Amino acid sequence: MQPDPTQRLRIGKTVFSLSFTATPLAVRRGLVAFETYLAGLPIAPERRDNICIVLAEALKIKELDVTVVTRGAHVMNLLDAETANLTTMALERNGVAVRANVSATAIERGQDFDTVVLSDGTRLDADLIVLAIGVEPDTGFVEAAGITTERGAIVIDEHGRTSADHVWAAGDAVISTDAVTGAKHPVPLAWPANRTGRLIADAIADPATARKVPNPLSTAIIRIFDQTVAHTGANRKALDAAGIRYKSLHLHPAHHAGYYPGAQQIHMLVLIDPENGKLLGAQAIGAEGVDKRIDVLATAMRAGMTVEDLIDLDLSYSPPYGQARDPINLVGLLGQNVLQGTIKLWFVEDFENAMAKTLLLDVRSAFEFERGHLPGALNVPHTELRDRMDEVLEAAAGRPVSAYCYSGVRSYNAYRVLAAAGLDAATLSGGLMSLQAAAPELVLEK
Ligand SMILES: Cc1cc2nc3c(=O)[nH]c(=O)nc-3n(C[C@H](O)[C@H](O)[C@H](O)COP(=O)(O)OP(=O)(O)OC[C@H]3O[C@@H](n4cnc5c(N)ncnc54)[C@H](O)[C@@H]3O)c2cc1C
């Protein structure tokens, strides 16, 4: 049956506009999924675009041309730039086009296809247009009953009670308090909804012993072709908004022993409190083992553990499953180094200063250096550093040294040598891999 070309689905207060001129899965041209509000409308801070990405993947697997358009700087606004850009790369590698930093301003209806007009003038012809712009709870009838709501979401107490006697609420329509930042926003995820239902039943049946509804960590996971991306807790934007200080840890460990066939890198970003090491948030993307690591970190966060406590976790290990030092243990070891000051990190936001005022020291092999390096960097492989320290001192000419390698491991070793030699040094967090993920526009010198 041909779908009605004017079909409109109303879900909550959001209108999903499904506009197609043929059976969608039979067409191939210009399918556009976009997850931005049309220009002029506000973007809700709790906006989640995971489902847009999942949809884009599913439609691409069905061999449709898919473009994801987002007004934000990158897809998946609950991720920070480096993880989000790796997500974009995974989409693009698999043939999904991504247009960031641009708004959809109009949809022009046509005879054979429709056209989405973007704020930069680009016109995207589309057989199917999906507005994945988030949902707002349709709580008008709740408000009409005099029940307290906040920005349209139902306010509940720690046992799920609304402001009306004998009325409880759970799920996407209620407002939650973020476990890390204390910010108030709905958390449209399945387990918090389920869990609250169970806890409300307890509160009704046996109020004396009922446990409180915990504040959600908003742990979430999606598959993007051969990659998995997952996150828990807060990202940098949410921490900045809440005025919470943090330190970023970047790691790229293999998901199991490197010598065992099939080892895959996990790109991890973990945010910690720089004073007490409390875990504030984590994001990871990779082909294998992402779910396990994010779930362990979510568990550790719920238990109130610090980053150093991760060193103490006895995680299962044999070569096909993990490493003797599991990526989670490595987060703990790196975090401890940062807290104790045995490593000093520099980040993408320090890049201009590092270029202008420090010696950039590339400690990779000469072969890697020749294939592309940061502009003006001196190459001294970390294995030669002790013997060539005079060269470094001369090039530094009293300036601090910003060391880097590909993933951050070799430049950590180099950092220790430089610091022992009395130099004011720092090592690039996560190496070139994290720098290029955070700033894909960066061009290496050859
Ligand atoms: C496509 C999609 C994929 C998702 N994938 C994930 C995922 O992978 N992981 C995850 O954690 N979350 C996921 N979610 C989110 C998750 O489904 C929701 O967070 C969860 O279902 C919320 O539960 P709820 O009880 O609040 O609402 P719902 O599950 O939507 O239940 C609400 C019910 O109320 C009914 N209803 C609505 N209005 C009225 C009314 N006036 N009178 C009577 N009944 C009414 C509805 O028909 C519905 O049955 C996904 C959501 C979508 C849409």
69 Cα to the center of ligand 1, angstroms: 25
Give the separation between CA 412 and CA 396, rounded to whole angstroms.
Answer: 18
Reported confidence tier of residue 75, pLDDT bands at 50, 70, 90: confident
Residues with Cβ within 8 Å of residue 422, at least 6 apart in sequence: none
Q: Which amino acid is at 319?
A: P
State yes or no: pLDDT of 17 exceeds 50.
Answer: no
| End residue of a domain, out of 172, 205, 238 | 205
Counted domains in the chain? 4
Residue nearest to atom 47 of ligand 1 (CA): 11
Predicted TM-score (pTM) of this structure: 0.91
Domain span at residue 104 reads: 8-131
State yes or no: pLDDT of 135 exceeds 70.
Answer: no
Query: 162 with 200, same domain?
Result: yes
* Residue 445 domain-assigned (yes or no): no
Picking from 423, 404, 422, 424, the residue whose alpha carbon sits closest to that of residue 413 is 404
Could you identify the atom of ligand 1 that is nearest to the CA of residue 191?
A: 11
The two tokens of residue 242 are 């809440």
Separation in Å, CA 439 to CA 356, 434, 435: 18, 8, 6
> Who lines ligand 1 at CB under 6 A?
51, 171-173, 188-191, 193
Asked if 100 and 72 count as a contact pair (C-beta separation under 8 A), the reply is yes
82-97 burial, b if ≥16 CB within 10 A, otherwise e?
bbbbbbbbbbeebebe
Residue nearest to atom 1 of ligand 1 (CA): 51
- CA 133-85-253 angle, 5° bins: 130
State yes or no: pLDDT of 101 exceeds 70.
Answer: yes
172 Cα to the center of ligand 1, angstroms: 7
Query: 247 with 147, same domain?
Result: no
* Residue 359 domain-assigned (yes or no): yes
Could you identify the atom of ligand 1 that is nearest to the CA of residue 174?
A: 26
State yes or no: pLDDT of 90 exceeds 80.
Answer: yes
* Residue 443 domain-assigned (yes or no): no
Element (H, E) at 282: strand 279-286
The two tokens of residue 64 are 């449709």
Query: 225 with 277, same domain?
Result: yes
State yes or no: pLDDT of 336 exceeds 70.
Answer: yes
Locus of tokens 């973990």:
270
| Mean pLDDT along residues 101-122 | 85
Q: For residue 283, what pLDDT is reported?
A: 98
Could you identify the atom of ligand 1 that is nearest to the CA of residue 171?
A: 26
Query: 96 with 178, same domain?
Result: no
Picking from 290, 224, 231, the residue whose alpha carbon sits closest to that of residue 54 is 224
Q: Which amino acid is at 12?
A: G
CATH at 292 = 3.50.50.60
Give the separation between CA 113 and CA 265, rounded to whole angstroms.
Answer: 42
390 Cα to the center of ligand 1, angstroms: 65
44 Cα to the center of ligand 1, angstroms: 19
* Residue 2 domain-assigned (yes or no): no
Reported confidence tier of residue 290, pLDDT bands at 50, 70, 90: very high
- Output the CA torsion sign for 155, 160, 165, 167: positive
- Helix extents (H) in 5-154: 50-61, 81-93, 140-144
State yes or no: pLDDT of 424 exceeds 60.
Answer: yes
Residue nearest to atom 16 of ligand 1 (CA): 190
The strand pair at 401-404 and 378-379 is best described as unpaired
State yes or no: pLDDT of 445 exceeds 90.
Answer: yes
The two tokens of residue 353 are 């200063």
Question: Which of 10, 51, 231 to probe ligand 1 with, by most ligand atoms within 8 A of CB?
Answer: 51
Query: 266 with 321, same domain?
Result: yes
* Residue 148 domain-assigned (yes or no): yes
Residue nearest to atom 26 of ligand 1 (CA): 171
Query: 313 with 230, same domain?
Result: yes
Averaged pLDDT score across all residues of the chain: 88
Question: Which of 172, 191, 196, 219 to probe ligand 1 with, by most ligand atoms within 8 A of CB?
Answer: 172
Picking from 176, 319, 204, the residue whose alpha carbon sits closest to that of residue 256 is 319
| End residue of a domain, out of 311, 339, 367 | 339
DSSP assignment of 219-248 = -EEEEETTEEEEEEE--HHHHHHHT---EE
Give the separation between CA 197 and CA 159, rounded to whole angstroms.
Answer: 10
Give the separation between CA 132 and CA 445, rounded to whole angstroms.
Answer: 40
* Residue 211 domain-assigned (yes or no): no
Query: 282 with 335, same domain?
Result: yes
Query: 300 with 282, same domain?
Result: yes
Reported confidence tier of residue 108, pLDDT bands at 50, 70, 90: confident
Could you identify the atom of ligand 1 that is nearest to the CA of residue 193?
A: 23
Reported confidence tier of residue 33, pLDDT bands at 50, 70, 90: low
* Residue 58 domain-assigned (yes or no): yes
| End residue of a domain, out of 97, 131, 165 | 131
| Mean pLDDT along residues 384-401 | 97
pLDDT above 90 as % of the chain: 72
**44-62 pLDDT, tens per residue?**
444 556 778 888 888 888 8
Picking from 434, 437, 414, the residue whose alpha carbon sits closest to that of residue 426 is 414
Give the separation between CA 341 and CA 426, rounded to whole angstroms.
Answer: 11
Q: Identify the bridge partners of residue 115 per DSSP, sorted by sequence position.
A: 108, 125
- CA 351-355-359 angle, 5° bins: 120
Residue nearest to atom 2 of ligand 1 (CA): 51
Could you identify the atom of ligand 1 that is nearest to the CA of residue 197?
A: 25
Locus of tokens 């790196």:
334
Query: 30 with 14, same domain?
Result: yes
Query: 119 with 175, same domain?
Result: no
State yes or no: pLDDT of 38 exceeds 70.
Answer: no
Could you identify the atom of ligand 1 that is nearest to the CA of residue 222?
A: 8
* Residue 404 domain-assigned (yes or no): yes
Query: 311 with 402, same domain?
Result: no
Query: 327 with 410, same domain?
Result: no
CATH at 373 = 3.40.250.10
